[in-house]
Amino acid sequence: MNMIRVENRYQQPASSPSASLIAAQLLRKPPRPPLVVIVDDDESVRESLPDLVRELGFAAQAFSSAGEFLASDCACDTGCLILDVMMPGMSGPELQEELKRSSRHIPVIFITAQTSETLRTQMLAHGAIECLIKPFSDVALLDALKSALEVN
């Protein structure tokens, strides 16, 4: 009886990655950029700031009020919040406190038109990453986002 030896030419050597691992790597979607949520009652900010945030390499979504944000399902996916300090209803600092009470610790960057250094100091003392005075530069925003999201 003659034995025929069949060689599998497609078998990977033990040191090479398997075909299934290579296929999985090829099919893997690139990582999604962190979601930055903007909460501001000023419509012009809600229209322009998300575009800038996207240009800086992050995903962005805007809400007109703290209540609208809390009613959404975005809190779980939010990497960073950009909050206006003064808003009708629940203010930015009040939203930050509400999130802390519900054990949702989301990094916060405050934005404000008030030029008070005392206000800025208070926001930082309450755990904000940064408090930017409007108008602020894209460099200042990028630096604050990098700090909040711990990215390079």
In a domain, 48, yes or no: yes
DSSP strand E in 33-139: where? 35-39, 59-63, 78-84, 108-112, 130-133
pTM score: 0.79
pLDDT in tens, the chain (152 residues): 555 454 544 455 555 566 666 666 666 766 788 999 999 999 999 999 999 999 999 999 999 999 999 999 888 899 999 999 999 999 999 999 999 999 999 999 999 999 888 999 999 999 999 999 999 999 999 999 999 998 64
Asked if the structure places residue 107 within a domain, the reply is yes
Q: Is residue 28 part of a domain?
A: no
CA distance 110 to 122: 11
Q: From CA 9, how far away is CA 3, in angstroms rounded? A: 18
* DSSP E strand boundaries for the chain: 35-39, 59-63, 78-84, 108-112, 130-133
Q: Domain span at residue 128?
A: 35-149
CATH classification at residue 104 = 3.40.50.2300
* 21 domain-assigned: no
Residue 96 placed within a domain: yes
Number of folded domains that form the chain: 1
Tell me if 29 is assigned to some domain: no
